Amino acid sequence: MKVRSVKLREAHKAPTNGRPSFCSVVWDQQAHHLVTASSSDPTISIHDPLLPSAPPKLLRHHRDGVTALALSPNSTCLASGSIDHSVKLYKFPSGEFETNITRFTLPIRVLAFNKSGTLLAAAGDDEGIKLINTVDGSIARVLKGHKGPITGLGFDPNSEYLASIDSNGTLMYWELQSGSTLHTLKGIGPDLGLDLSVMNVLSWSPDGETLAVPGLRNDVVMYDRDTAEKLFSLRGDHTQPICFLAWSPNGKYMATAGLDKQVLIWDVDKKQDIDRQKFDERICCLAWKPTGNALAVIDVMGKYGVWESVVPSSMKSPTEDIPNLHTKNSNGLLFFEEEDQEPSVSGSLSDLGEDSLGESEPPSRKRLRKQSAYENDFEEDGFEELSLPLKVESRKKPHHMHKASKEDANEVQRSKGTSSRLKMQEAFQPGATPMQLGKRRFLCYNMLGSITTMEHDGYSHIEIDFHDTSRGPRVPSMNDHFGFTMASLNEKGSVFANPCKGEKNMSTLMYRPFSSWANNSEWSMRFEGEEVKVVALGTSWVAAVTSLNFLRIFTEGGLQKHVLSLDGPVVTASGFEDELAVVTHAAECLPSNEQMLEFRVFNIYNGTQPLRGRLPLTPGSHLTWFGFSDEGQLSSYDSKGVLRVFTSQFGGSWLPLFSASKEKKSDENYWVVGLNASKLFCILCKNPELFPQVMPKPVLTLLNLSLPLASSDLGADALENEFILNGMHLSQIQKQVEEISGAGLDTTSLDDEAFNVEAAQDKCILRLIASCCNGDKLVRATELVKLLSLEKSVRGAIKLVTVLKLPNLAERFNSILEERLLSESKGTLQTILPSSSRYALTKDVAFTKSSASTERSSDLETNGLLSSPILSAPLFTKKAKPQGAKVEVENQTAKLDDTGKGKKIEEVKNAAKVNNTGELKKVGELNPVQPTRSFNPFSKSLNNQEKKAEVDQVQPNRPSNPFLKSSVK
């Protein structure tokens, strides 16, 4: 057993008589506050968990000890019950007293809000349970049936049932719509007698399918939601009865406190305890932190504390994969009217939409839906044949069964369709953070800079900052009276938009350039009955996607240039130079809750759509970031932490280049900002935060791109990752060379970049060959040597296997080298001596490698291939620039050699000389022009003296490009 100490500090004075008291502790929704109370203290304390030593805020409105606390689901209302028989409501977190909502004739023991905050259930030593409408304080219904003090209450998360338990151990299920009792289970919990510091409690699982109740054998018993049948129990090292229990937010774990002063943490699926803590006094209340791996505890002496890292870091966090019941959320405390049986068109919570059961699935269907979950625990033969445990008095009305049998198929299909629509991802702006009251937030955060805003006195204050002040001007802040919620930023300007607001339901789009030759160059557009969802910027264009699925393109000056209809609701969009990428929903979600997204790339300048296809996501995830890399590659990042980059390989594919699950710690989240060819730029956020705060200023973290490769039998995962990334980079450069060359532009800088990447790739392949030889993977080594681009590298591989005493492999490598040189020699003859009398001459000449010579061997040793990390030789053709007289080119492209790669032209040596008639002389007549040594195309450059001598020798005897016909007549 781990010995860890949880420090407790006093929240309430211990009773003067030394007798234990029942104390309560609850978290608010965001875990910003911790509320405690004691049955021996009339004061309620609101603590700041970040500043535990700071004095708490005290609420002094009760005249006697506080026995019950409850917070509304949105944490805007606090309810308290007391021995003074009253139930009070407060505004939260201010603590302002609101009202005495009801009174009892005896002390209150327990309070509970329903899922939407529309009902407050209160009970205690009185006979009945009051269901209170918190809007007007009226009593919606009183449920009577218990024979002793009621100590535990719980609304099921679907707001269909209420469960209650009393001090005698009797559990009752109530149907909220009719107020009738569905099941009564007598004597299933401990009989506590008159000890008011111990209470029988109960708790629904977060998915609403299971009810947990303390059992008679120092265990926890799980009951089925609809049939009240016993499913299984958690029994471990508690030596006395359990007095409190609480589910983790995701329902995977449970915390239990016993009379033996122990707190145990359970893995519910495995039915075993995973950790425990022994305390000096009995813990009477527990509360899981809603946003993190922590548990708040309070003992019977009024001391509370927070147990951090409750669940081991190797296991799933208690706040990960929280069940989403897709119920409507309420921003306030609204209630249905008791007699209203029809949901309103608007879906207001003031109607029966959630709390009424008129349109809900009958229990029998829900039972059928759960068969797979419990098929390993017990056998089910249909709802009618389910046997209930002893002491169950079922008074469930038979009309549910008839309704299920008549409407089952249609209802399930309708329910599935509704659920899918609710699960479709909402539109979001890349680089924006959610609104937080009283805090500054990001409207945009990208690789260039950030745009922040904070609401103040009815308007917002917007500031624009650049990470590198030399890349952008100093932009003055501005006052925003439109309430902008999204923005985009580039070097030229910024664009802002807001949702529909005002009497006319108008949405506004505004563009603000950073500099212009004209005054008053900013402009705005208004959309009536149409809401801007996402904005994007590019080179001289502004884009907005609206709620009508319109893609609107504007020029930099505000001209409305294009209006396109998209195929589905927008998810997000991003711009880079002339390209705009838009993500939309392609269809409703799959039953497995997978988003069906589609991406389209528009070239605004050309008016074309070069790319379109499905956007892959990790199963069960949603899109969290979308944009372009610094090099212009389309990229996406999902909620499971997988980064994908679009590449032209295989006709256009998405490559997973990063997986957060292999990088991050359990208490970290990555908020993506951007990426380049080798690094991912992100901001680290500590759990449970998913996005950064503006203050303090976030710090960018650089992470290496790494494919999620399988564990190699060579143990060379890093080298294999480098090999794939280099190949992808070379493919990208090749595509850029083709595009730029096709446009007739110079590609010298790209050629140089390609040479460097190719040299790094050969170095990586040589290391992989060494690993294969050491691991006796000789076939794989042979495959790798065929991928080497440079002759020098192949010879280095031959030396390597010779040193490793692998003669057979060295012989194979020699054969591969000879075949390559022979193939390249044929390519040389076809280029210099074509069969046709009319020569195909081109502007960009692909020069081939010369045959092997003894000089290459000396170069290999001189350059130190095996010892030096720098390998150099060209992959792509370096273009020879024409000089002097203007020449005419008959053909636009030259044929590549057999390997499909062009070769860089360093010096034109073995060439034909052009005479005055424009005819070519034979190669044998060119002896005066031959250099003193054969040219080695595998060497990146000659030394300065050799280069100078060759230039002096060749320059007087030929024009700058002897392969081109002279245009001089």
Quick check: 101 pLDDT over 60?
Answer: yes
Please give the CATH number for the structural domain made up of 440-704.
2.130.10.10
Question: What is the model's pLDDT at position 847?
Answer: 36
Instruction: Give the C-alpha separation, 862 to 792, whole Å.
Output: 11
Asked if the domains 22-308 and 440-704 are classified in one and the same CATH topology, the answer is yes
- Tally helices (H) and strands (E) across the chain: 10, 52
Least trusted range by pLDDT, from 325-339, 686-700, 822-836: 325-339
The arithmetic mean of pLDDT across residues 683-708, rounded, is 85
Confidence of residue 28 (pLDDT cuts 50, 70, 90): very high
Mean pLDDT in residue range 656-676: 84
Least confident of 308-312, 580-584, 585-589, 891-895: 891-895
| pLDDT classification of 337: cutoffs 50, 70, 90 | very low
Q: Which has the minimum average pLDDT: 111-120, 220-229, 664-673?
A: 664-673
Extract the tokens encoding 53.
Answer: 């030593």
Of 447, 497, 453, the closest CA to residue 468 belongs to 447
pLDDT at 954 (0 to 100): 40
SS3 state of residue 574: strand
Mean pLDDT over 317-321 rounds to 90
Q: What is the mean pLDDT of residues 644-664?
A: 86
Residues 297-310, mean pLDDT to the nearest whole number? 93
Instruction: Say whether 571 sits in a helix, a strand or coil.
Output: strand
Percent of the chain, pLDDT > 90?
A: 39
pLDDT on residue 717: 81
Average pLDDT over residues 705-712: 83
Peptide bond into 696 cis (omega under 30): yes
pLDDT for res 929: 38
Which of these, 469, 460, 411, lies nearest to 435 by C-alpha position? Answer: 460
pLDDT in tens, 340-362: 333 333 333 333 333 333 333 44
Positive or negative, the Cα torsion across 748, 752, 757, 763? positive
Tell me what pLDDT residue 950 has.
Answer: 42
Give the pLDDT of residue 845: 33
- The partner residues of 272 in beta bridges, in order of sequence, read 267
Q: Tell me what pLDDT residue 867 has.
A: 38
Residue-level length of the chain: 969
Q: What is the pLDDT of residue 789?
A: 87
Please provide residue 584's backbone torsions phi and psi, each rounded to the nearest 5 degrees: -130, 165
Q: Cβ distance 159 to 116 under 8 Å?
A: yes
Helix (H) or strand (E) holding 669: strand 668-675
832 vs 144, residue with greater confidence: 144
688-697 long-range Cβ contacts below 8 angstroms, 24+ apart: 688/31, 688/290, 688/291, 688/292, 688/319, 689/291, 691/433, 691/434, 691/442, 692/433, 692/442, 692/445, 693/439, 694/439, 694/440, 694/441, 694/442, 694/452, 695/440
Written as one string, the DSSP assignment of 385-439 is: GPPPPTTEEE---THHHHHHHHHHHHHHHHHHHHHHHHHSPPP--TT-----TTS
Per DSSP bridges, beta strands 441-445 and 596-603 are: unpaired
46 vs 134: which has the higher pLDDT: 46
Q: Of 62-76, 186-200, 892-906, which has the strongest mean pLDDT? A: 62-76
Q: What is the C-alpha separation between 140 and 336, in angstroms, rounded? A: 9
Local confidence band at 934 (pLDDT 50, 70, 90 cut-offs) = very low
Confidence of residue 509 (pLDDT cuts 50, 70, 90): very high
Give the three-state DSSP class for 817.
helix
Q: What is the largest CA-CA distance in the chain?
A: 122
Q: How far is CA 203 from CA 70, 256, 348, 362, 383, in A?
A: 14, 11, 27, 22, 24
Residue with more model confidence, 464 or 408 = 464
Provide the pLDDT for residue 205.
94
DSSP 615-654: E---TT--EEEEEE-TT--EEEEETTSEEEEEESGGGSEE
Query: Band of the pLDDT at 519, cuts 50, 70, 90?
Result: confident
- On the question of pLDDT at 872 being above 70, the answer is no
Q: Give the whole-angstrom CA distance, residue 45 versus residue 51.
A: 14
C-alpha 109/C-alpha 89 separation (Å) is 16
Report helix angle 791-803 to 807-832, nearest 10: 170
Domain boundaries, the chain: 22-308, 440-704, 716-826
Whether 969 shows a pLDDT value over 80: the answer reads no
Number of other CB atoms surrounding residue 801 within 10 Å: 25
* Distances, alpha carbon 501 to alpha carbons 482, 511, 529, in Å: 9, 19, 10
| pLDDT given for residue 616 in this prediction | 93
- pLDDT tens for 178-214 read 889 999 999 999 887 777 788 899 999 999 999 999 9
Distance CA 848, CA 579 (A): 37
Class of domain 22-308 as given by CATH: mainly beta
Q: How far apart are CA 168 and CA 190, in angstroms?
A: 7
pLDDT winner (highest mean) among 562-571, 653-662, 732-741, 818-827: 562-571
Strand order in the sheet with 262-267: 242-247, 253-258, 262-267, 272-278
| Lowest pLDDT segment from 307-316, 363-372, 426-435 | 363-372
Write the DSSP assignment of 787-806 as a string of letters.
T---HHHHHHHHHHHHHTT-
Q: How far is CA 209 from CA 164, 222, 255, 367, in A?
A: 16, 10, 18, 9
Least confident span in 47-56, 363-372, 492-501: 363-372
Is 60 exceeded by the pLDDT of residue 399? no
Mean per-residue pLDDT over the chain, rounded: 77
Exposure string for 819-829, b = 16+ CB within 10 A, e = fewer: ebbeebbebbe
From 1-10, 45-54, 157-166, 706-715, the region with the lowest mean pLDDT: 1-10
Neighbours of 225 (CB within 10 A): 25
What is the pLDDT confidence band of residue 832, given thresholds at 50, 70 and 90? Answer: low
Band (pLDDT 50/70/90 cuts) for residue 502 is: low
Radius of gyration (Cα) for the chain, nearest Å? 37
* pLDDT (average), residues 112-124: 91
Residue range 731-751: mean pLDDT, rounded: 83
DSSP state of 906: S
**Model-level pTM greater than 0.75?**
no
* DSSP line for 492-504: SEEEEE--SBTTT
Phi, psi of 68, deg, nearest 5: -150, 140
Instruction: Tell me which amino acid residue 590 is.
Output: L
**With bands split at pLDDT 50, 70 and 90, how would you rate the model's confidence at 691?**
confident
The pair of three-digit structure tokens given for residue 633, joined into one six-digit string: 């590659």
Please calculate the CA angle 405-411-414 and round it to the nearest 5 degrees.
165
Task: Using CB atoms within 10 Å of the CB of residue 832, give its burial: 0 to 12 exposed, 13 to 18 middle, 19+ buried.
Answer: middle
Position 20, amino acid: P
Q: What is the pLDDT of residues 610-622, one digit of tens each?
A: 999 999 999 888 9
Report the Cα 880 to chain-centroid distance in Å.
48
* HSE-up of residue 802 (Cα within 13 Å, Cβ side): 11
Only one residue has tokens 């150099």, namely 872
Q: Is the pLDDT of residue 463 over 60?
A: yes
Bigger pLDDT: 405 or 527?
A: 527
Q: Torsions phi, psi of 469, nearest 5?
A: -65, -20
Q: Who has greater pLDDT, 519 or 944?
A: 519
